[in-house]
């Protein structure tokens, strides 16, 4: 029997109060998704086919690209259906799967970006020992830790969220199934779930951001000790792409998960959530390809062009 805690489905309100905006968002989300598929697939291909990109940085970058592909594919097709037509429903099973994948991959990305900050720290601060410190086995272990921690986090947080006593209208004021919106849908006591969300936000958002800031603080100190314009340029080239990705990703995550409880913040949070879920996976490959000479050279070699002669 279907009860209040396990409804037949949910209604994803999304941006239904702005029907004209929905049509615009449909085009934006579709184009962003296609760019995400092409950009991240290209990075994975280049990292696996080009021997000159067989370094720890590109190993982690290919992991990030694969993660973004899975992340967006888990909810964007459903979002496009809801944006295009009047039917905005999602089954309870579909919502459960979406929530589990969204939580798992979102957490994995938080850990993976922290691992990449450690990689950049060693590259700048310990360049002579980089190959021995960040060796292939350690890279695989760190990547595995990121994926396993994401899975564990989702296994811990998804079941209590889905067991909440949801209100009879089953209307989720969001464009996908995620923890904050499902907590708001509950008509029962959500104290445990809110504490769980706060603790996970500290562990997987606040602590990673702090570790990344510590890494870049150490990088800044190391570069400041070297009075060389060449060293500055090299450090900037080594870290700029990752720093841009981290800034965009975490600023949108903080805006979604660490916002005050009021209607205005929730409405604004939906747009930040859309950018976090759709925009960042699109921008990641663009940032790494447009600002990275090695990736552009690898792309030229893939096309059979001599990129080496044109890049210095």
Residues found in the chain: 312
Residue 37 lies in a domain: yes
Joined tokens for residue 114? 């922290």
User: What is the number of structural domains in the chain?
Assistant: 1
Query: Domain span at residue 53?
Result: 9-302
pLDDT value, residue 4: 45
SS3 state at 299: helix
Residue among 5, 27, 216 at smallest CA distance from 96 = 5
| pLDDT, mean of each 10-residue run, the chain (312 residues) | 56 82 91 93 87 85 94 90 84 92 94 94 89 93 96 95 90 87 89 92 92 91 78 77 89 76 64 85 84 72 58 42
Residue among 219, 277, 224 at smallest CA distance from 243 = 219
Residue 121 lies in a domain: yes
Residue 311 lies in a domain: no
Distance CA 11, CA 177 (A): 10
Joined tokens for residue 255? 């805006």
Distance CA 184, CA 191 (A): 12
Question: Residue 256's CB: how many other CB atoms inside 10 A?
Answer: 22
pLDDT value, residue 311: 44
Residue 2 lies in a domain: no
DSSP 75: T
Residue 216 lies in a domain: yes
Residue 45 lies in a domain: yes
Q: How far is CA 266 from the centre of its chain?
A: 20
First vs last Cα of the chain: how many Å apart?
68
Residue 42 lies in a domain: yes
Where residue 178 sits, what CATH number does that domain have?
A: 1.20.1070.10
pLDDT value, residue 288: 81
Question: Residue 215's CB: how many other CB atoms inside 10 A?
Answer: 23
Residue 204 lies in a domain: yes
Distance CA 88, CA 16 (A): 9
Joined tokens for residue 187? 């008509």
pTM of the model: 0.86
């Amino acid at each position: 029997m279907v009860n209040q805690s396990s409804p037949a489905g949910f209604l994803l309100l999304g941006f239904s109060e702005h029907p004209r905006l929905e049509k615009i968002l449909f085009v934006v989300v579709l184009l962003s998704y296609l760019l995400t598929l092409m950009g991240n697939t290209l990075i994975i291909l280049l990292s696996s086919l080009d021997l000159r990109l067989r370094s720890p940085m590109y190993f982690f970058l290919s992991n990030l690209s694969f993660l973004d592909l899975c992340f967006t594919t888990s909810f964007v097709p459903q979002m496009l259906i809801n944006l295009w037509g009047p039917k905005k429903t999602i089954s309870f099973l579909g919502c459960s799967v979406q929530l589990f994948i969204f939580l798992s991959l979102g957490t994995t990305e938080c850990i993976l970006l922290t691992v990449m900050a450690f990689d950049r720290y060693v590259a700048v601060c310990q360049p002579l020992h980089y190959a021995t410190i960040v060796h292939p086995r350690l890279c695989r272990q760190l990547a595995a830790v990121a994926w396993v921690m994401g899975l564990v986090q989702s296994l811990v947080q998804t079941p209590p969220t889905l067991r909440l006593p949801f209100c009879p209208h089953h209307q989720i004021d969001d464009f996908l199934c995620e923890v904050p919106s499902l907590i708001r849908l509950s008509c029962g006591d959500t104290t445990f779930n809110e504490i769980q969300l706060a603790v996970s936000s500290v562990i997987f958002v606040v602590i990673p951001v702090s570790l990344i800031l510590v890494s870049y603080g150490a990088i800044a100190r190391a570069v400041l000790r070297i009075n060389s314009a060449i060293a500055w340029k090299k450090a900037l080239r080594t870290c700029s792409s990752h720093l841009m990705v981290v800034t965009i990703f975490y600023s949108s995550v903080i805006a979604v998960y660490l916002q005050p409880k009021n209607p205005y913040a929730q409405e604004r949070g939906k747009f930040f959530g859309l950018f976090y879920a759709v925009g960042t996976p699109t921008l990641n490959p663009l940032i790494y390809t447009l600002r990275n000479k090695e990736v552009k050279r690898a792309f030229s070699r893939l096309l059979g062009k001599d990129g080496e002669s044109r890049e210095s």
